Amino acid sequence: MESIDLLKIAAAVLALAIAVIGHEIMHGYVAYAYGESGFLFGWAKPVPINTATVIKNAGYNGAMQVDLAGIVYNFTLGVFASIAIIAMDKPTTADDILYIFAYIFVFQLLIINVVLGVFNLLPIPQFDGAHFVSHLALKYKINSVAEFFYKNEKYGIIVVFIILMTPLKDYVLMLPVQTILGLLLTA
């Protein structure tokens, strides 16, 4: 394996860790701001949040802010990474290994955060998008929508596999990701 391949792997692993762990920490941070103190900052694990406490203290708007906190983190980090990548010169073989790693890392940070942001925004049971839609529906007393997502939580992973293994991924995931990346990388 060449050193450039090792750099790509190391950069991707580090970028993924920052994206996923930060995403989960943001859920906990926003919940904490609304009086939920029972969460633990996990290592890329969903942060256990007592949504009832958040709703009691901040209503459904607070719950929706908790739902979107990780997604906002991912998109914000993606924006900062895009600004950095535009400002950086594309590395050449004359550059030192640290600069090459930094460039690859920032590029991976951009891609991974946009993908995670889009993916988590989808209203798939167990995902942030579904939690947001559920809390929005409950706010406006459309309980049947929230009940639908709650009853179908166990099928969320099946929906993910269907999306990833079929042409649906091109429209549901790749098109929004490519559109956002195109917007972010337009200088």
* pTM for the full predicted model: 0.92
| Amino acid 146: pLDDT | 96
Per-residue confidence (pLDDT) for residue 46, from 0 to 100 = 64
Q: How many domains does the chain have?
A: 1
pLDDT tens per residue, range 130-171: 999 999 999 999 999 999 999 999 999 999 999 999 999 999
* Residues across the chain: 187
Token pair for 98:
């640290």
168 alpha carbon, distance to own chain's centre: 19
pLDDT reading at 105 higher than 90: yes
Q: How confident is the model at residue 36 (pLDDT cuts 50, 70, 90)?
A: confident
